[in-house]
Amino acid sequence: MSYLLLSVLLLPVLSTPFIYLAGRKSAKSAAVLLSLIAASTLALVLTTVPTILYSPSNRYVEDYPWIPVLNSNFTLFVDGISLSLVILTMVLIIAASLYSINYMANKKNLPVYYTLLSLLFAGLIGVFISSNLLFFYFCWELMLVPAFFLVGGWGYQDSYKVSFKFFVFTHAGAVFVLLGIGAIYMLTGSIDIFTAANLLLTQNPDLVKWVLIALTAGFAVKMAIFPVHMWLPDAYAEAPAPMSALISGVLTSAGAYAIVRISMETVFPAVAATTFGANFLHGLALFGVVSAFFGSLVALSHTDIKRVIAYSSISHMGYILFGVSLFPIQTAMTGTVLHIVTHGLSKGLFFLTAGAIMSVLAIRNIKEMGGLAGKMPITGTASAVAALSLGGAPPFACFISEFFIFMGAFQLIPTDNFYIIPTALMLAATVLSLGYALRFISKVFLGPSTMPPTDETGKQKKFEVPRFMQLSMVMLLVLVIIVGVYPTFFLDLINTATSSFI
């Protein structure tokens, strides 16, 4: 059966008009329908797990004739890496859709809002399941269109200005990606990532290195690696909370996935044995360290609740880039891919809790908050778990993925002592991460309350958010804890893919 084509790719696209029509009658109906579609798609794609775990190729593939003149088939696949990202995407789409029922209530044009979420869903899934670089690029650009209108149409202040900045930066990065894809076709005559990987091994490394640089630079913009991070704080801060959760949890993760899948797995093997290959990995490590420190230090000093979380994303993209630089150490690469997943879950949860706090208090400055732990117990618990996970505290999700990254670094140091200092610095960055996590919890939830206990009528004031917002936060909260305590499902999946790296 064509699970990927019919159920995973076409179902979100074909359901778009039905989501719009459902939204015309009831925004809640549109949200529930989108959630059900994502849940159904998730259930269907999970049927490929036995094939991934036990087949000789560790990959489920569907191949369709497409463009003969380009010697190109329309090939869809899932392996341990892409399936992990597909699962992350669908979970966050479900959480964002249900959260929006209450959070976006009384907002304008909600049928369009849920329709755009559905298109974003389709674009994201296409990025993760396509081995055809042309279709990958189509979906890469498709993600940008609904994201632009979602941030601009339902953001807070100067939303379209912020959205335009986001568009310019990410589209500029996409130009480098397109140049890299064109160069791969010029050198190999193929636009399939797995076929091209073998053909590039026979090419001149001096040419291939420019392909690697172009692709990595383009993907790094989507990751918001320092110094091409400038779009991220504004986009995260001004987007509505469900969209912030998706941008931080999946859109930036798409950049990280693309670096692992295309830059490293497809292109890098052709230059791995050269001096440039070693220098390239060392450069990634340095950019990772700088991003980790920059994001953590700014998050420690900022007072805007959403910008604190936004800058922590830059920090964690630094962790991922540092992990990528340890290629092809399997422990490190498994930890890197797992960190894409754990960061996505934790950051998505963190932004949903921030949206809950802002919807109740109508303020953004964490210095004006305090004492909310008793008034918003569910939100407070979810926020604390998300913050501690991002701070690298056990037993939450990000701890285990960071642990694998550092174990990989320790394995590499005996053969490449360059990594001694970057690894020590990244360990120091984890202290800063825990620092901004504890500062956030302290400022927002502990200490004396700054909010009046009663409303203007004298009734006890209600602080906890409505049930669908709670449901979304609890769902992600449970997953952050489960993945932290028992990551075996994702580790088994990811190991089947990383074991084949050179």
DSSP strand pairing (72-78 vs 60-67):
antiparallel
What per-residue confidence (pLDDT) applies to 481?
Answer: 97
DSSP H helical segments within 362-466, as ranges? 377-390, 397-412, 420-445
What per-residue confidence (pLDDT) applies to 456?
Answer: 53
**Can the peptide bond before residue 242 be classed as cis, meaning omega within 30 degrees of 0?**
no
Tokens of 209: 């290195």
Q: Residues 220, 264: contact at Cβ < 8 Å?
A: no
Tokens of 477: 């909260």
Query: pLDDT by residue (tens digit) across 10-66?
Result: 888 888 999 999 999 899 999 999 999 999 999 989 999 999 999 999 999 988 888
Q: Residues 85, 341: contact at Cβ < 8 Å?
A: yes
pLDDT tens across the length of the chain (502 residues): 567 877 778 888 888 999 999 999 899 999 999 999 999 999 989 999 999 999 999 999 988 888 887 778 888 999 999 999 999 999 999 999 999 999 998 888 899 999 999 999 988 999 999 999 999 999 998 888 898 898 888 888 778 888 888 888 988 999 999 999 999 999 999 999 999 999 999 999 999 999 999 999 999 999 989 998 888 888 888 888 999 898 888 888 899 999 999 999 999 999 999 999 999 999 999 999 999 999 999 999 888 898 999 999 999 999 999 999 999 999 999 999 999 999 999 999 999 999 999 988 888 888 888 888 888 899 999 999 999 999 999 999 999 999 999 999 999 999 999 999 999 999 999 999 999 999 999 999 887 776 655 445 445 456 788 899 999 999 999 999 999 999 999 999 999 999 888 6
Report residue 48 CA to chain centroid gap. 22
Q: Is the dihedral of CA 48, 49, 52, 55 positive or negative?
A: negative
Report residue 285 CA to chain centroid gap. 20
Residues forming beta bridges with residue 467, ordered by sequence position: none
DSSP string, 102-164: HHTTT-S-HHHHHHHHHHHHHHHHHHHHB-BHHHHHHHHHHHHHHHHHHHHHH-SSSHHHHHH
Q: Residues 370, 450: contact at Cβ < 8 Å?
A: yes
What per-residue confidence (pLDDT) applies to 450?
Answer: 67
DSSP run (H or E) holding 73: strand 72-78
CA distance 147 to 149: 6
Say which residue the tokens 């909010």 belong to: 451
Contacts of 462 (CB under 8 A, 6+ apart): none
CA distance 66 to 28: 39
Q: Helix (H, G, I), strand (E, B), or coil: what is residue 191?
A: coil
Report residue 229 CA to chain centroid gap. 15
Residue 101's alpha-carbon distances to 35, 242, 262, in angstroms, are 11, 10, 37
Q: Helix (H, G, I), strand (E, B), or coil: what is residue 61?
A: strand
Residue 395's alpha-carbon distances to 80, 177, 385, 434, 481, in angstroms, are 23, 38, 10, 14, 7
Query: pLDDT by residue (tens digit) across 243-295?
Result: 989 888 888 889 999 999 999 999 999 999 999 999 999 999 999 999 999 99
Q: How many CB atoms lie within 10 A of CB 80?
A: 24
Q: Which of 451, 452, 443 is nearest to 366 (CA)?
A: 443
Q: Which of 326, 212, 314, 196 is nearest to 259 (CA)?
A: 212
Q: Helix (H, G, I), strand (E, B), or coil: what is residue 460?
A: strand
CA distance 354 to 96: 13
Residue 467's alpha-carbon distances to 7, 98, 375, in angstroms, are 30, 10, 15
Residue 83's alpha-carbon distances to 2, 51, 60, 249, 497, in angstroms, are 16, 12, 10, 15, 11
Q: Where are the beta strands (DSSP E) in 190-316?
A: none
Residues forming beta bridges with residue 62, ordered by sequence position: 76
Q: Residues 104, 96: contact at Cβ < 8 Å?
A: no
